[in-house]
Chain A
Amino acid sequence: DAGVIQSPRHEVTEMGQEVTLRCKPISGHNSLFWYRQTMMRGLELLIYFNNNVPIDDSGMPEDRFSAKMPNASFSTLKIQPSEPRDSAVYFCASSLGALNEQFFGPGTRLTVL
């Protein structure tokens, strides 16, 4: 099993640019989560999808952030426009069932200059 796949692994961009992070969950998993990790705030849940539908987006910091899940095998997290304070490691996780253990991807390290 390939596990959760995220791309890119590293992204460096300039303030004001659009950034798109990608995630492929484990095949057969119907729950998908996006997290953000910073030194100051630790790991925070941004949004949760169940069967491709956004269920809880209360953790999305502001309107500059958006997430989509067009099908069961692909999700994106977009930041437009990006700001330096968005610099963080973004993790995608999936689970089989919304109450079961979550499997995390390797993360995308985003640096906004």
Chain B
Amino acid sequence: DAKTTQPNSMESNEEEPVHLPCNHSTISGTDYIHWYRQLPSQGPEYVIHGLTSNVNNRMASLAIAEDRKSSTLILHRATLRDAAVYYCILRSTLNAGGTSYGKLTFGQGTILTVHP
């Protein structure tokens, strides 16, 4: 499985934008870039994903480098509820049992602290 590299931790102030970087230099052409986050004492939660183009949804934006070797998750206005561990994941497509499925391989993630 291709690996991702993220900073161990980042800090932000409430109401400010946050840019969470991720390096994935060994990404293959079929790997999707997924971001999940895990709030304290909860299960991971899907944030956003993309393949080549930048993506926006109600939670965040995902900026993908042209060579796809890095990406950035952008939270436009951080709130205290955004404090979580953010995982950048390369979703590989595996074939098993005659079906294809997307395997998520979680790394250590980035611990985001948001200050009031």
The answer on a CB contact under 8 Å between A91 and B44 is yes
Secondary structure at the B interface, as helix, strand, loop or mixed, is strand
How large, as a class, is the contact surface on chain A? 20 to 34
The answer on a CB contact under 8 Å between B100 and A42 is no
Instruction: Name the B residues within 8 Å of A106 (CB-CB).
Output: 42-43
How many inter-chain contacts with C-beta < 8 Å in the A-B complex?
A: 58
Pick from A44, A56, A103: contact of B96, CB below 8 A: A56
Q: How far is the CB of A5 from chain B (nearest CB, A)?
A: 11
Q: Is A99 an interface residue (CB 8 A)?
A: yes
CA distance A50 to B103 in the complex (A): 13
Instruction: Name the B residues within 8 Å of A102 (CB-CB).
Output: 44, 46, 104
Task: Kindly list the 10 A-B residue pairs having the minimum CB-CB distance in the complex, ordered from nearest.
Answer: A104-B43, A98-B101, A43-B106, A55-B97, A101-B46, A99-B102, A56-B96, A104-B44, A55-B96, A91-B43
